[in-house]
Structure 1
Amino acid sequence: MAGNGGGGKRMKLTMMVTTEHGRLDRVITDYFDDVTRSQADKWLHAGLVTVNGRPAKASYKVAADDQIVIAAPEPTVLSAKPQNIPLDIVYEDDDVLVVNKPQGMVVHPAPGHPDGTLVNGLMYHTTLSPINGVLRPGIVHRIDKDTSGLLMVAKTATAHQSLAAQLKAKTTDREYLAIVHGNIKEATGTIDAPLGRDPKNRKKHAVVPNGRHAVTHFEVVERFGSYTLVKCRLETGRTHQIRVHMAYIKHPVAGDPLYGPKHTLPGNGQYLHAATLGFTHPVTGQHLEFSAPLPDYFEAMLTRLRYGAFN
């Protein structure tokens, strides 16, 4: 959706506010997932946004029943191009590839992230399954930009279909390590709570009554007083699942800018790492399992916590 604030063809985006939200620029970015604050500001400064038929500024306080209309430029068509980006390939054969994604790397191109993604690097490295189109070739599942760790990638359509079927059947093994706020008293636990779009903030997901079935199993690995290191095993794979579920039980992932508290561990995002990945090879039928060590910044934080920092 997000384009520039200039001329060309335009599309009309209309939103009716049902409850009071605050500043207009924040309302726009909350409502539309792929619109950044800078993009909203460009539209506002270009006079492309009206409230109740009149041009409005970013600081306008949105009220219930306001009608907001954006005459946004039509989006440019994105396409993924090969880029020589260093990749940490854990395993590769003619059918599948397992890669250890670093924190800060986006998985595939999208508005706001047209290049420099994992897909751009993978396209330079090898051929990928055509399933999922030109922006997400070979991508069977995703992890968030600031989550590190293992991803399985399909190099052929046959492999892609097999891996996707395994995810749907819940036969893959996916374990994450996370530092969370608080001291979890239980040694183990299961969070069975449906997830969907947060009705108050479209950039977030939340436990909602009519959401999609979601189950996360957790196990305490180490306690640090004010923080706990946990292992989380996904039974389902919903968007932001671990981050939302841990916040739901009042133990949000440390460093999480979206679901965690403002006072948290310093860093560049959530302390969440996809440490273990297991699946059945789509051609040989062999069970494969891989592990990725914690990133240096994650290990360094654990060392600081063991010495009593941040408690």
Structure 2
Amino acid sequence: MTISQDGASPEGLERRTFRADRGDVGVRLDRVILRRLADRHDIARPDVQRWIGADRIFVDGVPITRGGRRVSLGEEIAVLVPAAPARREHLPEARPLDVLFEDEHLLAVNKAPGTVVHPTKGHWSGTLFNALLWHAKQWGPRGGRPGLVHRLDKDTSGILLVAKDPEVLARLARALQRRTFTKQYVALVYGHPPQEAGRVQLNLERDAEHWYRMRVAENGGRESVTEYECVATSGTPRAGLSLVRCRLVTGRMHQIRLHLRALGVPIVGDRLYGQPRWQGISDEALAAAAQAFPRQALHAWRLGFTHPMTGERLQITAPLPDDIRALVALAKLPLSALDAGA
């Protein structure tokens, strides 16, 4: 079987085609395919491996039988994937929102930890977006479908910006691309950064074997930059805790979590990228609290941007949630240090 020149595919399958770039060179074909299909969370590596030898994967029009084959620059890779699942209708739900700012054009909400931002597989209800759809009923004739300007991980708390109509959403999206936003996060980490303040710059890519993880790219990947400052610390350099303020220059998935791990100061409670460093804390109560902390201690703290319609410069702050505050207090770290120099 070969793929027809007009791109027709067997019924029930969609043809995805891409050209190998420098980041793909020398990488196993199955890993490259999974990375290029990162938008399809329903596809995993075993699926790709089953398609090999089943006339579902082609390189320069020729069917492939070995997933371990290494990719060369410029090769055209085509994959016949199952049609994407039908989109489900998202329903309004009467759930409370912690609104930090709102006018006729946009609003900023304080997302609680553990809240999924947008409906997805396994989380079709109870999300922040369901609550926003309900809230949007109050917007009157001008209001429309809420548009999420950016996202936060389920277990990251803090500020989310929402547009009330497509024009506002488009203007805010352009501002994000131009990097005119100032996005500051607060993280509680194990140990102490090697410098009081600095900049982390790494290229990141999605993990080919686990779509929900990111990793530092050996070749290619996308640039990611975080500026950080350690504002308070307690204990020894490896066995204590530090409060770190981070400013995103870029906004890649899991960027801060990976960057702080690369600095040797993993975030407390991070089950995906963290380390069990609580074992080295001498204060038994603090060690137990750090071990039991149920999520990454990361909070989207402050957002600065130019209002897309009025031109006013806004700065919105989301107070630290109770769970991080309690751990910070137990570590005897001064929260007042957060605002110094911010």
- TM-score bracket, shorter-length normalisation: 0.7 to 0.9
Structure with a larger share of its residues in helix: 2
* 2:198 corresponding residue in structure 1: 189
Instruction: Say whether the 8 Å CA contact 1:78–1:110 is kept in structure 2.
Output: no
CA 1:151 to 1:214, structure 2 compared with 1: closer, same or farther past 3 Å? same
State whether structure 2 residue 291 is matched by structure 1 residue 282: no
CA 1:85 to 1:190, structure 2 compared with 1: closer, same or farther past 3 Å? same
The 1-side partners of 2:200 and 2:178 are apart by 19
**Cα shift readout 1:215-241 (whole Å, capped 9, x = no counterpart):** 100000111222211000001111111
**Cα shift readout 1:59-90 (whole Å, capped 9, x = no counterpart):** xxxxx969xxxx99973532211000111001
CA 1:10 to 1:285, structure 2 compared with 1: closer, same or farther past 3 Å? same
The 2-side partners of 1:156 and 1:128 are apart by 14
Please, which of 222, 233, 245 is the counterpart of residue 212 of structure 1? 222
State whether structure 2 residue 318 is matched by structure 1 residue 304: no
Deviation at 1:36, TM superposition (A): 11
Please, which of 245, 268, 288 is the counterpart of residue 294 of structure 2? 268
The 2-side partners of 1:302 and 1:147 are apart by 16
- The SS at the match of 2:266 is coil
State whether structure 2 residue 271 is matched by structure 1 residue 257: yes
Deviation at 1:33, TM superposition (A): 6.8
State whether structure 2 residue 251 is matched by structure 1 residue 244: no
* 2:242 corresponding residue in structure 1: 228
**Cα shift readout 1:190-224 (whole Å, capped 9, x = no counterpart):** 00111111245332111213111211000001112
The amino acid across from 1:89 in the alignment is V
Q: Point out the more displaced range, 73-82 or 100-109.
A: 73-82
The amino acid across from 2:41 in the alignment is D
Please, which of 141, 165, 176 is the counterpart of residue 174 of structure 2? 165
**Cα shift readout 1:23-67 (whole Å, capped 9, x = no counterpart):** xxxxxxxx9973599xx9xx9xxxxx97999xxxxxxxxxx969x
The 2-side partners of 1:240 and 1:128 are apart by 34
The 1-side partners of 2:258 and 2:131 are apart by 29
Q: Which has the larger radius of gyration?
A: 2
- The SS at the match of 1:279 is strand
Which residues in structure 2 correspond to 1:18-33 (within 5 Å)?
none
- How high is the TM-score relative to the length of structure 2? 0.67
Deviation at 1:182, TM superposition (A): 1.5
Deviation at 1:128, TM superposition (A): 11
* 2:336 corresponding residue in structure 1: none
- The SS at the match of 1:183 is coil
The 1-side partners of 2:51 and 2:181 are apart by 48
* 1:122 corresponding residue in structure 2: 132
The 2-side partners of 1:145 and 1:224 are apart by 28
Instruction: Say whether the 8 Å CA contact 2:157–2:298 is kept in structure 1.
Output: yes
- The SS at the match of 1:252 is coil
The 1-side partners of 2:163 and 2:187 are apart by 27
CA 1:73 to 1:238, structure 2 compared with 1: closer, same or farther past 3 Å? closer
Instruction: Say whether the 8 Å CA contact 2:190–2:277 is kept in structure 1.
Output: no
**Root-mean-square deviation over aligned CA pairs:** 3.7
Instruction: Say whether the 8 Å CA contact 1:128–1:138 is kept in structure 2.
Output: no
- How high is the TM-score relative to the length of structure 1? 0.73
CA 1:254 to 1:10, structure 2 compared with 1: closer, same or farther past 3 Å? farther
Percent identity at matched positions?
39
Deviation at 1:304, TM superposition (A): 1.3
The 2-side partners of 1:74 and 1:178 are apart by 36
